[in-house]
Structure 1
Amino acid sequence: MKELRYLNKYFKKYWFKLLIGIIITIIARVFSLVLPPYVNKSIRAVEGYVASGSGDLSAVKGELLEYILIILGAALLSGFFTFLMRQTIINVSRYIEYDLKNEIYDHYQRLNLGFYKQNRTGDLMNRISEDVNQVRLYCGPAIMYSIQTLTLFFCLVPIMFIKAPTLALYTLLPLPILSVLIYRISRVIHKRSTIVQQFLSTLSTFTQESFSGISVIKAYGLEPKTNANLQTLAIEGKDKSMDLARVNAWFSPLMILLIGISNIFVIYIGGKQYIDGQIESMGIIAEFIIYVNMLTWPVAVVGWLTSIVQRAEASQKRINEFLHVQPEIKNEIDKDTPIAGRIEFKNVTFTYPDTNITALRNISFTVKEGETVAFIGRIGSGKSTILDLVARLYDINSGELLIDGMPIKKLNLKNLRGAIGAVPQDAFLFSDTISNNIRFGKENASMEEIVTMAKKAVVHENITGFTKGYDTVLGERGITLSGGQKQRVSIARALLKDPQIYLFDDCLSAVDTETEEEILNNLKQASKNKTTLIVSHRVSSAKNADKIIVLEDGQILQEGTHDQLVGREGYYKELYQHQLSEN
C-alpha cells in the first residue's frame, strides 16, 4: 500500500471528521451487540417457565416485553448511529475525491506542452475520473467497513470465549484458513486490477479520438473499420475484466462456505455440550448462531475490501506517475513584474525536447515596445516557435530571451501570460456560448464590449445570423463554426483582453482577402502602442508591420520593412510577386 501513502495528507486534513466517524462507527456496532445476549435471556426465561410448569405467565410476558423493547431500542440507536457514520466517513471520501481531482487538474495545467504531446487525452481523463473514483472507495467505504469489522471482531471474540470457550474455538476455527486464502487471492487481484485500469485508459483514448475526429471518419467512410477496432478493444477489455472477475468470484462462495461450516459447528458442538450438561441453556446456542451471522458480513466484506484496496493501489500508482512529473516551466518569481512589451532575442537556440528538432539556430532580433513585427517563412522555419518562446510555453536551450530587459525566467509567469493575447492558427473554442468564448479573454466583460470586439474582428454579422446569436452554444472545439469564423472569434477574444503583447500566429489563413484587409485595419488601430508579433504566410498580413523578419531553417534570412524587402532580391520579393500575380 505504499502508493496509497500519498493520501495521508488528506487524512490529516480531515482527521477530526474521520475521528468522529470512527467513534460513531464503534458506537453503532456496540449497540448492535445488545441483540444476542437478550435473545439468550429471552430463551432462558421461556425455558425457566416451561421447566417449572407452574410459573407466573404474566411475569414471563413482562420480562419478554422488556427484552424486546431493549432489543428494539438498541436496533434503532444502532441504525441512527449508522446513518451518522455514513454522513461523516462517506462525506470525507467525497471531500478527498474533490481535493484530489483539483490537485490533479491543477498539476495538469502546470505541465508543459511536451507532456501533452507524449500522453493521450483519453488516458489523462481516465486518471482524473475512473482512477480517482477507485481511490475514493478506499478513502470512504473501505475505511468504514474496516472499522466495523475490527470492532465486531474485538468485541465478539472475547465475549464468545468468556461464555463458551470450547464452542467459540470451533466457531472461529475457519477464520485462519480464510485469512490465508484472502492473502493469496489479493496478490492476484492487485496484478489484474492494474491491467484493467491501464486498459480502460486505452479504451477512453480510442473513443475520445473517434468522437473528436468523427467528421474525418465519416468523410473517409471509416465507420465499419472504426466499429471493428472498437469491437476488438471491447473484446480485449472484456477478457481482462473477466480475468479479474474470475478471481473476485472466489470470495463470496468461500465466505459463505466457511460461515456455513461455523454454523454447523455451533449447532453440533453446542447441541452436544447442551446434552452433556456443559452449557445450561439452548439460549447460548441461539446467541452463538447470531454471533456467527453477525460475523458473516464482516468476514464476507473482507474480500470486497481487499479488492477495493488493491484497485485503489493500482489507480493511485497511475495517478502518482503523473503527479510526480515535475513541470519544466516553473514560476520562479513570486512578486509582480509588470510587462511593458519590449522583446529581445540574443543568440537564441531552441530544440524541441520531444522530437529533437532544432527550430531556432542562434537568432537575434529586437522588438521595441509598441512595435509590430511580422515573421515570414516556409513551414518549419521556426516562426511559431518564436511566439511559443515569448509566451514561455518552452524555455530556450541557449542564448538570452529578454522581456523589458529582464531574462524571461525572472518574470512572474502569471504576469507574463496575463500580458499576452494569443491567437493560434488552429483556433480552439470551447463547447459554450459564443459570448462566453469571447469573454474568455476578459471574465467580467459586458455584452457591449463583446459586441464591439466581435465587430472589430469582422464576425459580428456572422454571429447575429445564427438563430440564438451570441447565445449560440458551439459544438466541441467550436465545430459549429467555419475555420474563418473560429479564427475571428479567437481574434475578438484576444482584442477583448487588451494585453500589452499580441501574438498572432497565421490567424487569418482561413479568411478571404477582403475580410483580411478589414480585420488588419482594425487590428492596427486596436494594437496601437501594443507590441505585436505576427506570423503569416501572406505578404498582405505582414506588409504594414514596422519590421518584417524572414526566417529560413531557424535562422534569419532577411530583415527590414516591406518597402526595403521588396526592393531586394530574395525570398520575400519572390513571395510578394507570386502572391501579387495570384490576386
Structure 2
Amino acid sequence: MNGNDGSKMKDSKWVRDFEKSNDKLVLRFLKANGVRYLFGFLFFAAVNLLQVVTPRLTGDIIDELYKQNPDLSLIAKFAIVIFALSIVIMGLQFLGRLTVLGAGTLFDVLMRRKLFRKLLTLSMNFFHKKSIGDIMALSVNDLNAVNRAIGHGAMMVSNTIILAVVSIVAMGETMSYKLTLMIFIPLPLLVFTMYKFGMVINRKFRKVQDRFGELSGKVQENIAGIRVVKSFVREESEQKSFEKVNRANYDAEVEMALVNGLFMPLISFISSFCYLILIYFGGRSVIVDQSISIGDFVAATSYITLLIRPMQMLGRLLGMVQRGKASMGRIYDLFEEKPDIVDHKFNQNDVDIKDNKLKGKIEFKKLNFAYNEKNGDVLKDINLVINPGETVAFMGTVGSGKSTVSNLLIRLFDTPERGQLLIDDMDIADIPLKTLRGNIGYIPQDNFLFSDTIRYNIGFSPDEMNDEQIEEAAKTSDIYDTIMDLPDQWETMLGEKGVNLSGGQKQRMCIARAVAKNAPIMIFDDCLSAVDMETESRILKSLKDVQSKRTCIIIAHRISTVKDSDKIVVLHKGRVAEVGTHEELLEKQGYYYKSYRIQLLEQQYGVGLKDAKGEKK
C-alpha cells in the first residue's frame, strides 16, 4: 500500500460496511478486493504458464544432443530463452506476491482495528472472565494465522490450481492423456487423507491457541505482580505453577507437531506414487513402444515435479486454512460478545441534556447491588441525596461497598432496577454513556498511567487541552514542581503503568488528569492513600477551589481526607450506618468516632491498631 492508502481505505464504503459487520468477514473482504486478487491470479497464471515452457525447452535440448550432428547454436538459443524466462518469472512472481500478500496485510490491519474497537466497547464483566493473555493471543497469534490464510493461502490456491491445470495439459500434449490420467490414480486417496487430517488440525490448533492464551496470561500476571512475588518469596512456587501451564502448552504443541509431522510426509508419500506410475509406463513408452522420445520423457519428469508440488501445496494449504479457520472461530466468539452496559438498554427514549452538561445532583433510592448473586449484596438499601456542588465522603471498612459506589456512578455496572440511582433526576441508564462519563472526573485506586508523555497523560480527555489547562491541573494536584525537576519535563516518557514514578507521584498525576477534565462531578476513589499527610494536606487545600464548583465524591479511609466534607457517609457491611458532618459524627460516638480515635492515636503516638483498640476497651 502506498502512503495514501490509509485515507482511501478509511473513506471506502466497503471498509465502513466491513467494520459494521461481524459475520462472513473473510468472504466480505475477498469480495471487496476481488479485482486485487484477480490481478494476483493473472500474475501467477503467467508465471505458471512460463514455468511449463522451461521443461519443454529442456526436453528439446536433450533431443538435439542425442542427434548425430547437434545444432549448438540452437541449443545456445534455447539456453538464452530459458534465462530470459527466469527473469520474467521472477518479476511476475514479485508482482503477484506484492498484490496478494498486500491484500492479506490490509485484512490484518482492518481486523486488528476492528478487534481493538470491539474490546473498547465491552463491559467490565468480559474482562473479569477473560485473561489478558488470552486477549493478547487473539490479537497476535490468531490474527497472524488468519492473515497467513488470507495472504499466503490465496497465493497457494492460485499456484495450485493454475500449475495443476497447465501441467496436465502439457503432459497430455507431450505424452498422452491416457498416461496423464493414470498418474492421477492416487488423487482420491490424497483428497481423503487431507479431509480427515483437516478436521484434526482444526481441533488441535484451537487447543494450541487456548493453551498459549493461558501461558501468556500467566507470564503477564507474574510480571505485573513481580513485587508481590518477590516480597512473599514465591519465586519457586510461581515457577512450579508456571511449569504446569507451560507443560500443558507443550503437550498441545507436541500433539499439533505430531499431526503435522505425519500429515506432510504422508502427502509426499502418496504423491510419490505418481512418480512410480510415470517411471514405469513412461519408461515403457520410450523403450518398448518408442511412442515418445527421451527428451519427451525428461520433460514429462519435470512436469510431474511441477504437478506434485501443487499436491504437496494442498497439504500445506489445508493446514494453513484450518489454522486460520480455528483462529477465526475464536475471533468470531469475541465479536459475538455483547457489552452489558449500553445506551437504550431498557428501550428508553433519549433524554434532553442541555449542551450535554450535567449539573451534578446524585440520588440513591433504596439501592441494592450485588456483583454476584451467590456472594450476596455489596450495597443494601442505600438512600441518599447529593446536591450539586456538595462534597460527600464515603468511609467504611474494607468490603463495606465504598468503591462499588464509584463503579455504579461511572456505570461500569448497572443497578438491578431502574430508579435506584438518579443523576439530575434522571435514571443513570437514561443518560448516554458518552455524556455521563464525559461529565465525571474519575481518579481510580490503581493509579493507571499510559506509556506516553506526562503531557499526554494529564491531557487525556476527549476535549483538546491547551498547555495552560494542563499546567494549572498539575499545580492543583501538587505535581507541577516534580515535573519541572525532570530533565524532559512535560515530554518525559513514562514507563508501563508509570513505573518510573513513585506511588505518590502517580496518584498526583492521576488527580491532575481528572482536574484537567473540568467535569461537574469528581470522584476521588481512595486516591490519596499513597501520599504522606503533609502532601495530602497541600493537595486538599489546592482542591478546595475545585471542590466548591463541582459535586465531589470522596472515597477514603483517612479521617484527614474526609473531615472537611459537607457530608460524610459511613458504610458498614453495605449499609449506611451514619451520615453527617465531621463534628456531628464525632458527637454520635459511633463507627466514625471509633475510627477517629484509632487514627488519632496512631498519628500522635504511633500506636498500632491492636493497641489502640485495647486502650479503648
Q: How does 1:416-455 map onto structure 2 within 5 Å?
A: 416-441=436-461, 444-455=464-475
Report the AA paired with residue 83 of structure 1: F
Aligned to 2:110: 99
Q: State the Cα deviation string for residues 376-419 of structure 1 (Å, max 9, x = none).
A: 22222222112111111111102412222322222221122122
Report the AA paired with residue 262 of structure 2: W
Question: Does the CA-based 8 Å contact 2:134-2:214 persist in structure 1?
Answer: yes
Aligned to 2:310: 298
Aligned to 1:383: 402
Aligned to 1:460: 480
Aligned to 1:19: 38
Q: Alpha carbons of 1:411 and 1:443: their partners in 2 closer, same or farther (altered >3 Å)?
A: closer
2:196 pairs with 1:184 = yes
Which of 9, 18, 26 lines up with 1:7 in the alignment?
Answer: 26
Q: Distance in 1 between matches of 2:248 and 2:405?
A: 45
Question: Does the CA-based 8 Å contact 1:4-1:313 persist in structure 2?
Answer: no
Aligned to 1:263: 275
Q: How does 1:227-306 map onto structure 2 within 5 Å?
A: 227-306=239-318
Question: Does the CA-based 8 Å contact 2:394-2:556 persist in structure 1?
Answer: yes
Task: Provide the TM-score with structure 1 as the length reference.
Answer: 0.90
2:390 pairs with 1:371 = yes
Q: Alpha carbons of 1:264 and 1:496: their partners in 2 closer, same or farther (altered >3 Å)?
A: same
Query: 1:518, CA displacement in angstroms?
Result: 1.5
Aligned to 1:495: 515
Task: Provide the TM-score with structure 2 as the length reference.
Answer: 0.85
2:546 pairs with 1:534 = no
2:224 pairs with 1:204 = no
Query: 1:487, CA displacement in angstroms?
Result: 1.2
Question: Does the CA-based 8 Å contact 2:170-2:303 persist in structure 1?
Answer: no
Q: Distance in 2 between matches of 1:335 and 1:167?
A: 79
Q: Alpha carbons of 1:395 and 1:378: their partners in 2 closer, same or farther (altered >3 Å)?
A: same
Gapped runs of 5+ residues in structure 2? 1-21, 604-617
Q: Secondary structure at the match of 2:388?
A: coil
Q: Distance in 2 between matches of 1:451 and 1:316?
A: 47
Query: 1:317, CA displacement in angstroms?
Result: 2.0
Query: 1:234, CA displacement in angstroms?
Result: 3.4
Query: 1:144, CA displacement in angstroms?
Result: 0.9
Aligned to 1:75: 86
Q: Distance in 2 between matches of 1:108 and 1:405?
A: 32
Q: Secondary structure at the match of 2:151?
A: helix
Aligned to 1:347: 366
Q: State the Cα deviation string for residues 200-230 of structure 1 (Å, max 9, x = none).
A: 1111111111111111222222223333443
2:106 pairs with 1:86 = no
Which of 114, 124, 142 lines up with 2:125 in the alignment?
Answer: 114
Question: Does the CA-based 8 Å contact 2:351-2:430 persist in structure 1?
Answer: no
Worse overlay, 340-349 or 511-520: 340-349
Q: Secondary structure at the match of 1:297?
A: helix
Q: Distance in 2 between matches of 1:268 and 1:186?
A: 32
Report the AA paired with residue 551 of structure 1: L
Gapped runs of 5+ residues in structure 1? none
Q: Distance in 2 between matches of 1:355 and 1:535?
A: 26
Q: Distance in 1 between matches of 2:220 and 2:374?
A: 24
Worse overlay, 202-211 or 242-251: 242-251
Q: Alpha carbons of 1:357 and 1:85: their partners in 2 closer, same or farther (altered >3 Å)?
A: farther
Query: 1:432, CA displacement in angstroms?
Result: 3.2
Q: How does 1:161-180 map onto structure 2 within 5 Å?
A: 161-163=172-174, 164-180=176-192
Q: State the Cα deviation string for residues 115-170 of structure 1 (Å, max 9, x = none).
A: 21112111111111111111111111011101210111223224433441233133
Q: Distance in 2 between matches of 1:354 and 1:33?
A: 70
Q: Distance in 2 between matches of 1:32 and 1:516?
A: 78
Aligned to 1:195: 207
Worse overlay, 524-533 or 273-282: 273-282
Which of 362, 375, 378 lines up with 1:359 in the alignment?
Answer: 378
2:171 pairs with 1:160 = yes
Q: Alpha carbons of 1:345 and 1:229: their partners in 2 closer, same or farther (altered >3 Å)?
A: closer
2:591 pairs with 1:571 = yes
Question: Does the CA-based 8 Å contact 1:362-1:399 persist in structure 2?
Answer: no
Q: Alpha carbons of 1:72 and 1:443: their partners in 2 closer, same or farther (altered >3 Å)?
A: farther
Question: Does the CA-based 8 Å contact 2:168-2:307 persist in structure 1?
Answer: no
Q: Distance in 2 between matches of 1:12 and 1:554?
A: 56
Report the AA paired with residue 592 of structure 2: Y
Q: State the Cα deviation string for residues 172-205 of structure 1 (Å, max 9, x = none).
A: 3333332222223333322222221111111111
Worse overlay, 427-436 or 105-114: 427-436
Query: 1:78, CA displacement in angstroms?
Result: 2.5
Q: Secondary structure at the match of 1:427?
A: coil
Which of 114, 117, 125 lines up with 2:136 in the alignment?
Answer: 125
Query: 1:463, CA displacement in angstroms?
Result: 3.8
Question: Does the CA-based 8 Å contact 1:21-1:88 persist in structure 2?
Answer: yes
Aligned to 1:322: 334
Report the AA paired with residue 113 of structure 1: M
Q: State the Cα deviation string for residues 430-469 of structure 1 (Å, max 9, x = none).
A: 2334333223247744455434322221223344455554
Worse overlay, 227-236 or 531-540: 227-236
Q: How does 1:21-40 map onto structure 2 within 5 Å?
A: 21-40=40-59
Q: Distance in 1 between matches of 2:88 and 2:23?
A: 34
Question: Does the CA-based 8 Å contact 2:167-2:306 persist in structure 1?
Answer: no
Report the AA paired with residue 357 of structure 2: I
Question: Does the CA-based 8 Å contact 2:52-2:170 persist in structure 1?
Answer: no
2:159 pairs with 1:139 = no
Q: Secondary structure at the match of 2:565?
A: coil
